[in-house]
Amino acid sequence: MVIRYQRFSSPINKVSGTTTTMASMSFATVAATQPFLKRAVQAIPNPSFTFFNLCIPCPFHFFKFEAISIAEVSSLSPSLPLTLTLRIFSFILLIAEMKQPEVQLASIDEDNTISQPQKDEIIVPVASLARPPPHQPNLPRPDLLNGSREVYIDVGIPLYEASIKGDWKAAKALIDKTPDLVRCSITENCETALHVAASAKKTKRMQDFVKNLVEKMGKVDLELQNSSSNTALCLAAAAGNVEMVDILVEKNPGLLVITGSQQMMPLYMAALFGDHATVKYLYDKSKGLRDDGWNPQNRGWLLQKCVESNLFDIALRIVEDRSELNSNASVLGVLAKKPEALSKTTSNIFKKLYNWAFARRSKPGPPKKESDALQLLRIIWENIAKKPKKEIDDIIRGQADPIKKEDRLPYNKEDQALQLLTRIYENIAKMPIQIQKLTAGPSANFTRTPSMENAKKKYSSRILFVAAEMGNTTFIVELIRKYPDLIWKVNDNNQSIFHIAVKHRHEGVYNLLYEIGSMKDLITPLRDENDNNMLHLVGKSAKRKRLQDVSGVALQMQRELLWFKEVEAMIPPSYRERKNKDGLTPHELFTKEHKELVAQGEKWMKGTASQCMVVAALIATIVFAAAFTVPGGYNQTTGYPIFHSEATFMVFVVADAISLFASAASILMFLSILTSRYAERDFLQSLPKKLMLGLATLFLSITTMTVAFSVSFFVLYKKGLIWMPIVISLFAVMPVVLFLRLQYPLLGDVFRSTYGSRYLFRPKKLMLYYDDPKNNIIRFFSILLSFITFGFFKVQE
């Protein structure tokens, strides 16, 4: 008697099409090494009665039992009572009757000895579960590869080199001698010269090569595929070579519906690599995805891939052309991870000038990416919001997390037997009461026993919480406007989207709390499974990626303190001193988590102050000496400077004095930083202000020193050589510009963090519920008109 199972060691890869390993093991095989399994209950009648297709879930594997006998159920544990064995087997039979006995395992020779690795995994062919054979590609002629090696070296290699370099003259000479070369494989991947040229560099020379080569080929020749089932069009689309794509499609439009590797359409391959021009061209030729080969599944894949590649204008056209895709939930999940695509850009003229001067020019992308993405989101969500509430909740919740499985079973046979009995017991506990009564009689009393399999599922890919984690404020606002109850949703850890925003330091999502009124007082007190409230989440250190948005470790600590103070004022006072399960209050947790950040901030602040103080001291030394060695010297009779009456000399003296005083003030500010106590609260206001004043005075001293240096040449060379001080002054501006370029980001961050933090929270501009500015203007003019009319009638009276 044999019990066999199939172990699904890995899921089927739907993309690559690979199949899983099917394993099978015989208990008779195991019994050869484990004597206790040989003790079968021979007294049970008909011990060879078997069942088929019983599926018992397991936290490590999925077992699919193909055949089992009463003898073997009892042999797993000889101490089992006969009645219990019969009940277990009755349960097995009832479940087996519900199944269709279609899967038959191949026979196993149990007499042959099996080694340990074979016992763990025996490959068994299962006919009914085998995948259908893949579609055979339309391969080129293999004559060149299968023929003489000398001929391949004389013909195939030169043709390959000509194809990859775009040398049409050399290729034409070979093709004219042997016209069939255009449909022969020249690589082991079964690629023709057209395949090689289509995947080469995008140059004018290669375009001319492909154009001339296509003229030598027929329409059928363009449909040849390599060993990966890719046509030349698929390779050109993947390479983003829209000119070559146009040449091939104009010659044979039927290439648009010939699938390539893994049954991917050429348009999908272009979207996969994100080339906007190629995708736009192929979509224009696809007749709105109505060609043969398109189905609802690959249309949905194309839409999702366009959104992933930021091709929002193409995705918008797909949704408009194919109305069945305007409620695609997968698109909603992708948009939740793209806050940059949904944010509106409002750069001023100074920012545009700065980006033009200093920022790297990026490649031009698809036009109106932000507005197209937002419009796509509104279309998708508007159609999803019309569905029943349960369907909307299922879409927002996303897929459940997969159960983690171990790679293989334990080698210990006693553990395997115990695991089998545990699985059987858990399935009995999940049986409906009616089935249990059928097996044990109507007089028996049963109670449903909770099972480990019925444990609460985890959903880590909830769309709303993914958006909150990414800081996608616009996405969340659009969803809440159509479904206001989303603000009450919590994740598996009993945290709202505002808790997630606080945890990941996204002030845009957090500020929505100020727009929901007093309802925030019911959301902020929520606690997770470890009794952490919202203030505890601020106490934990932020992600390194979020901290890197601020220059300097000291300013990162300042930002953390700002968050703590803000959330502390938001939550009810009674929750500010609540302890979590670790016995820590929010402030204690903050101190513990940010101890290293405080130490790093102190080190960074002292290092910055020390280096800047050296520069300030050098400037003070130079300008102090320049004050007594004025240009032109002194009058030996009166003791006054020779050029004291010159306007340029007066500018020199004033600039030199300002530089001296500014550098001295800078030295004092940096010295104050070095002698600070570096407590947590010092990073909030004291240290950033000192650093800002020190940098500002240092910049002033450098600027005035440069002015004094430049003006001194105007004093000396104002007659006849005026061009010399002008040239020197132009070069003197260089250190000022460099200091401004290199240190302005730090100075700006200090200023914004210290004085602009009041606008970080509680923004005046509402996002969730606001009045349309156009309506406000109309209302204003209507009120103004009414006042004018009223005053006019009063004057007439």
CATH number at residue 547: 1.25.40.20
> Which pLDDT does position 430 carry in this prediction?
58
Beta-bridged to residue 55, according to DSSP, are 64
Q: Are residues 673 and 639 in the same domain?
A: yes
Give the C-alpha separation, 121 to 6, whole Å: 10
Boundary residue ending a domain (593, 617, 650): 593
Tens digit of pLDDT for each residue in 293-352? 888 888 999 999 999 999 999 999 999 999 889 888 899 999 999 988 887 554 444 444
Q: Are residues 197 and 254 in the same domain?
A: yes
Give the C-alpha separation, 416 to 410, whole Å: 7
> Which pLDDT does position 349 carry in this prediction?
40
Beta-bridged to residue 8, according to DSSP, are 22
Q: Are residues 576 and 715 in the same domain?
A: no
Integer CA distances (angstroms), 159 to 177, 187, 193, 197, 487, in order: 12, 10, 7, 11, 65
Q: Are residues 140 and 289 in the same domain?
A: yes
Boundary residue ending a domain (244, 279, 294): 294
Q: Are residues 282 and 153 in the same domain?
A: yes
> Which pLDDT does position 445 carry in this prediction?
55
462, two tokens:
């909830």
Q: Would 371 be classed as within a structural domain?
A: no
> Which pLDDT does position 15 carry in this prediction?
34
Cα distance from N-terminal residue to C-terminal residue, the chain: 114
Element (H, E) at 277: helix 276-285
CB atoms within 10 A of CB 242: 20
Beta-bridged to residue 123, according to DSSP, are 23
Q: Are residues 612 and 751 in the same domain?
A: yes
Q: Are residues 59 and 128 in the same domain?
A: yes
Q: Are residues 161 and 115 in the same domain?
A: no
> Which pLDDT does position 602 carry in this prediction?
92
Give the C-alpha separation, 777 to 784, whole Å: 11
Q: Chain-centre distance of CA 256, in angstroms? A: 31
> Which pLDDT does position 610 carry in this prediction?
94
Q: Are residues 98 and 196 in the same domain?
A: no
The per-residue DSSP string of 33-48 comes to T-GGGG---TTSS-TT
Q: Are residues 625 and 565 in the same domain?
A: no
Which DSSP letter does residue 455 get? S
> Which pLDDT does position 408 carry in this prediction?
46
Q: Would 382 be classed as within a structural domain?
A: no
The per-residue DSSP string of 533-567 comes to -HHHHHHSPPPHHHHTTSSSHHHHHHHHHHHHHHH
376, two tokens:
């796509």
Give the C-alpha separation, 546 to 540, whole Å: 13
Give the C-alpha separation, 629 to 625, whole Å: 7
Q: Would 70 be classed as within a structural domain?
A: yes
Q: Are residues 199 and 289 in the same domain?
A: yes
Give the C-alpha separation, 353 to 502, whole Å: 34
What is the phi/psi pair of residue 212, to 5°? -70, -35
Give the C-alpha separation, 254 to 269, whole Å: 16
Q: Chain-centre distance of CA 668, in angstroms? A: 47
Q: Would 483 be classed as within a structural domain?
A: no
What is the count of structural domains for the chain? 4
Q: Would 464 be classed as within a structural domain?
A: no
CB atoms within 10 A of CB 585: 16
> Which pLDDT does position 284 carry in this prediction?
92
Describe the strand order of the beta sheet including 7-8 as a list of residue ranges.
22-23, 7-8, 62-65, 54-57
Amino acid at the residue 146 = N
What is the phi/psi pair of residue 15, to 5°? -80, -50
> Which pLDDT does position 107 carry in this prediction?
37
Give the C-alpha separation, 296 to 779, whole Å: 48
Reduced to 3 states (helix: H, G, I; strand: E, B; else coil), residue 61 is coil
759, two tokens:
């606008």
Helices then strands, each counted (H, E), the chain: 38, 4
* Domain ranges, residue 237: 134-294
> Which pLDDT does position 796 carry in this prediction?
62
Q: Which of 85, 4, 74, 14 lies closest to 40 in space, CA to CA? A: 74
Which residues of the chain are under the pLDDT cut of 70?
A: 1-135, 344-370, 403-417, 419, 421, 425-456, 720, 757-758, 763-764, 770-797
Contact between residue 532 and residue 541 where contact means Cβ atoms under 8 Å apart? no
Q: pTM (2 decimals)?
A: 0.68
> Which pLDDT does position 793 carry in this prediction?
58
Q: Would 472 be classed as within a structural domain?
A: no
Q: Strand pairing of 54-57 and 62-65?
A: antiparallel
Q: Are residues 142 and 288 in the same domain?
A: yes
> Which pLDDT does position 250 carry in this prediction?
93
Give the C-alpha separation, 168 to 636, whole Å: 87
Contact between residue 163 and residue 138 where contact means Cβ atoms under 8 Å apart? no
Boundary residue ending a domain (294, 324, 340): 294
- Rg from Cα positions in the chain: 39
Q: Would 426 be classed as within a structural domain?
A: yes
> Which pLDDT does position 135 carry in this prediction?
63
Give the C-alpha separation, 607 to 746, whole Å: 14
> Which pLDDT does position 414 carry in this prediction?
62
Q: Would 365 be classed as within a structural domain?
A: no
Give the C-alpha separation, 125 to 134, whole Å: 18
